A and B are shown apart, each in its own frame.
Chain A
Amino acid sequence: MYSYNDFDAAFLAERNSQFRQQVARRIDGSLTEDEFKPLRLMNGLYLQLHAYMLRVAIPYGTLGSAQMRQLAHVADTWDKGYGHFTTRQNIQYNWPKLPDVPDILDSLAEVQLHAIQTSGNTIRNVTADHFAGAAADEVADPRPVAELLRQWSTDHPEFQFLPRKFKFAVTGSETDRAVIRAHDIGIQLVEKDGKRGYRVLVGGGLGRTPVIGKVIRDFLPKEDLLPYSEAIVSTYNVLGRRDNKYKARIKITVNENGLDTYRALTEKRFAELKPLFSGVDQEMLDGIRAHFAPPAFRNAPTDAYDAARETDPVFRAWADTNLSAHKAPGYAIVSISLKKHGQTPGDATSAQMRAIADLAEQYGHDDIRISHEQNVILPHVHVSDLPALHAELKKHDLATANIGLVSDIIACPGMDYCALATARSIPVAQEIAKRFDELKLEHEIGPLKIKISGCINACGHHHVGHIGILGLDRAGVENYQITLGGDGSEDAAIGQRTGPGFAYDEITGAIETILKTYLGLRESEEETFLEAYRRVGPDPFKAALYPEKEKANAA
């Protein structure tokens, strides 16, 4: 993984020292809140419902064990002993106190972590496929590109006051695990005629106006990545609307001006910028790439794995759901579920973080990933180590076998923490997970992505959930709208609303109705919920959800 050079370390130390002084000046009264707020946001510090919240970037979701241990240390020393992993591969601490934040940031800097540009109208943490460097299906590891983009965008003088926040996601695979079509810029590493390059998408996003990203360049030569990215963002910086916060994202800019116009303006700007890039960025990229060399995979017998599968049904169930294909023979990608039934999606205690760090060190080439689906990944584990790994995970409540199933729910913090939320998300996720665990239907239902947001801003990605749930405030009462048929993959689609929303105590039952309807109409056990929905459309689900309306129509 990437390791800071002297410049990076000095930059971060200076930035943290500046923020320490800004906090001191706020506390002694020299700065008003209006003056201080943009400064704290630039450093990831929010004020939420019950407390401050510090959002720490995990660049492209990659951590080493030393970093994970430091996250645990921060949780124990300055917070309440846990952290919350988010849909943008960040970790959030829900209870820091303002005077402690400079110490927290210094502590994070010791392991090369920071909270810069995790808020504000800047280029945010660059996210990537959480299986990067391990997936059997990738053209190349996307993380060196993500790191280059991180370095380019950090403190970029032109892009500190964009019309609105700006999010990049990068993948190296055709199979999209990074939701690149729901990002302001999505980048896919591709190969054409034996040459490496990038497919560049622009103007995707969720929120109040969900839009699937559009291809602005189908094949961008690799040396043009930074000048072209700079041209896109620069065009947006000039053209993006600043008069209306809800129309300020690039998806609106692209839609209002049309993709062709946006592309033409980008190409014009690109022609100006291209000569300014001397190629030093490509040299830097080569240097960065060396940091991401694959680990020394070992050749070992796999008998222990095969034997454990035979004799231990619990292990086998876990292996069936939580492992993914690795590019190296004898290896597997392990997903550690942070979705134990009834737990808060994405939360890990400091003890769990330390356990994961130990296991990554012992069995996983010291490599840990955080997925946008709020789980932890050990990308490189030899299958002969899986029985021992699984036994350790069980001890720490980390062995839940539910990846990609009903209870593997994405949920934003919602009104339990977030000042913007209009309803709660977490307890809805907890109830749904518990219900289907009790019904013992999880494995029968099979692959399913439920995603819950507690407000229209859609941090919980509800628009691209196979089943999406949006919590709203309807006349002073929590109300939950359901969308069906959304998809965050390479076949991205926005889910369609079923109809009127459901009360807090009705929403779990409504999801049960939908899934029992699915079980009744699927053509075979192999037909997934999403496939069945695409075949039959929304009507059978609506009829089951709103029987009164159905009766009225028939009368």
Chain B
Amino acid sequence: MPRPFTPKVITANALLEGDVVYYTADDQWTRHLSEAELLTDEAHAELRLIEASAQQHLAVGVYLADMAAGENGPVPTHFREDFRRTGPSNYAHGKQAEL
């Protein structure tokens, strides 16, 4: 039996800056996970991935990442995505520095 679809967001790195970006419901790339579109339907997610991947001039390495619905938008379910939305643990660099 195929595994049930779990909620996801579309994420990538920005072409110029290289930092982590997320795809929003209105086809924008945001730096904030809370603003990302949480995709709960598999067919819709596949379609959105194709649309996001077409934006080669803005984003690199586009993929679907597992998330859960939180009070303020999507939240990571895996530590890798948690680090991506925060930054490295040895210095206050990356997204955590901008908060």
What residues of chain A have their CB less than 8 Å away from a CB belonging to chain B?
A: 26-27, 29, 32-33, 47-52, 80, 94-99, 344, 347, 415-417, 424, 426-427, 430, 473, 476-478
Q: Could you name 21 residue pairs across A and B whose Cβ atoms are closer than 8 Å?
A: A27-B16, A33-B60, A47-B61, A49-B20, A50-B19, A50-B20, A51-B19, A94-B93, A95-B93, A98-B16, A98-B17, A98-B18, A344-B90, A344-B91, A416-B83, A416-B88, A426-B89, A427-B90, A430-B90, A473-B80, A476-B78
Contacts of A344 in B (CB 8 A): 90-91
| A415, B84: Cα distance in complex, Å | 9
Look across to chain A and name the residue whose beta carbon is closest to the beta carbon of B61.
A47
With contacts A47-B61, A50-B87, A424-B89 taken as known, whether A415 is within 8 angstroms of B80 at the C-beta atoms is yes
| A95, B17: Cα distance in complex, Å | 9
Contacts of A478 in B (CB 8 A): 79
Contacts of B19 in A (CB 8 A): 50-51
With contacts A99-B16, A478-B79 taken as known, whether A416 is within 8 angstroms of B56 at the C-beta atoms is no
Contacts of B57 in A (CB 8 A): 29
With contacts A426-B90, A430-B90 taken as known, whether A51 is within 8 angstroms of B18 at the C-beta atoms is yes
Q: Nearest-CB distance from B64 to chain A (Å)?
A: 16
| A96, B79: Cα distance in complex, Å | 24
Q: Is residue B94 contacting chain A, with contact meaning CB distance below 8 A?
A: yes
6 residue pairs, one from A and one from B, having the closest CB atoms: A416-B88, A52-B18, A51-B18, A50-B94, A344-B90, A426-B90
Q: Are A47 and B18 in contact (CB under 8 A)?
A: yes
Contacts of B90 in A (CB 8 A): 344, 347, 416, 426-427, 430
Look across to chain A and name the residue whose beta carbon is closest to the beta carbon of B66.
A476
Q: Are B56 and A97 in contact (CB under 8 A)?
A: no
Q: Is residue B34 contacting chain A, with contact meaning CB distance below 8 A?
A: no
8 further A-B pairs in the complex, CB-CB below 8 A; given A27-B15, A47-B61, A50-B84:
A27-B16, A50-B20, A80-B93, A98-B15, A98-B16, A344-B91, A347-B90, A415-B79
Contacts of B30 in A (CB 8 A): none
| A96, B17: Cα distance in complex, Å | 8
Look across to chain A and name the residue whose beta carbon is closest to the beta carbon of B97.
A80
Contacts of A427 in B (CB 8 A): 89-90
| A426, B93: Cα distance in complex, Å | 15
What residues of chain B have their CB less than 8 Å away from a CB belonging to chain A?
A: 13, 15-20, 56-57, 60-61, 77-80, 83-84, 87-91, 93-95
Contacts of A430 in B (CB 8 A): 90
Q: How many A-B residue pairs have CB under 8 A?
A: 74
| A98, B57: Cα distance in complex, Å | 12
| A340, B87: Cα distance in complex, Å | 22
Contacts of B20 in A (CB 8 A): 49-50
| A96, B83: Cα distance in complex, Å | 19
| A195, B20: Cα distance in complex, Å | 57
Contacts of A29 in B (CB 8 A): 56-57
Contacts of B84 in A (CB 8 A): 49-50
| A32, B16: Cα distance in complex, Å | 14
Q: Are B79 and A476 in contact (CB under 8 A)?
A: yes
Look across to chain B and name the residue whose beta carbon is closest to the beta carbon of A342.
B90
Q: Are A51 and B89 in contact (CB under 8 A)?
A: no
Q: Are B15 and A476 in contact (CB under 8 A)?
A: no
Q: Are A477 and B18 in contact (CB under 8 A)?
A: no
Contacts of B77 in A (CB 8 A): 476
Q: Nearest-CB distance from B95 to chain A (Å)?
A: 8
| A347, B18: Cα distance in complex, Å | 21
| A466, B68: Cα distance in complex, Å | 41
Residue among A26, A49, A426, A478 with the highest chain B CB neighbour number at 10 A: A49
Contacts of A96 in B (CB 8 A): 18
Q: Nearest-CB distance from B54 to chain A (Å)?
A: 11
Look across to chain B and name the residue whose beta carbon is closest to the beta carbon of A32.
B56
Q: Nearest-CB distance from A381 to chain B (Å)?
A: 30
Contacts of A477 in B (CB 8 A): 79
Look across to chain A and name the residue whose beta carbon is closest to the beta carbon of B93.
A80
Look across to chain A and name the residue whose beta carbon is closest to the beta carbon of B87.
A50
Q: Are B83 and A97 in contact (CB under 8 A)?
A: no
Q: Nearest-CB distance from A472 to chain B (Å)?
A: 12
Q: Are B88 and A50 in contact (CB under 8 A)?
A: yes
Q: Nearest-CB distance from A67 to chain B (Å)?
A: 25
Partner of A415, one of B16, B60, B83, B94: B83
Contacts of B95 in A (CB 8 A): 50
Look across to chain B and name the residue whose beta carbon is closest to the beta carbon of A419.
B61
Contacts of A417 in B (CB 8 A): 88
Q: Nearest-CB distance from B4 to chain A (Å)?
A: 17
| A244, B13: Cα distance in complex, Å | 28
Q: Are A51 and B17 in contact (CB under 8 A)?
A: yes
Look across to chain B and name the residue whose beta carbon is closest to the beta carbon of A415.
B83
| A204, B95: Cα distance in complex, Å | 40
| A473, B90: Cα distance in complex, Å | 20
Q: Are A47 and B60 in contact (CB under 8 A)?
A: yes
Q: Are A33 and B88 in contact (CB under 8 A)?
A: no
Q: Nearest-CB distance from B18 to chain A (Å)?
A: 4
Q: Nearest-CB distance from B6 to chain A (Å)?
A: 12
Residue among B13, B17, B90, B94 with the highest chain A CB neighbour number at 10 A: B90
Look across to chain B and name the residue whose beta carbon is closest to the beta carbon of A430.
B90
Look across to chain B and name the residue whose beta carbon is closest to the beta carbon of A417.
B88
Contacts of B56 in A (CB 8 A): 29, 32-33
| A279, B57: Cα distance in complex, Å | 50
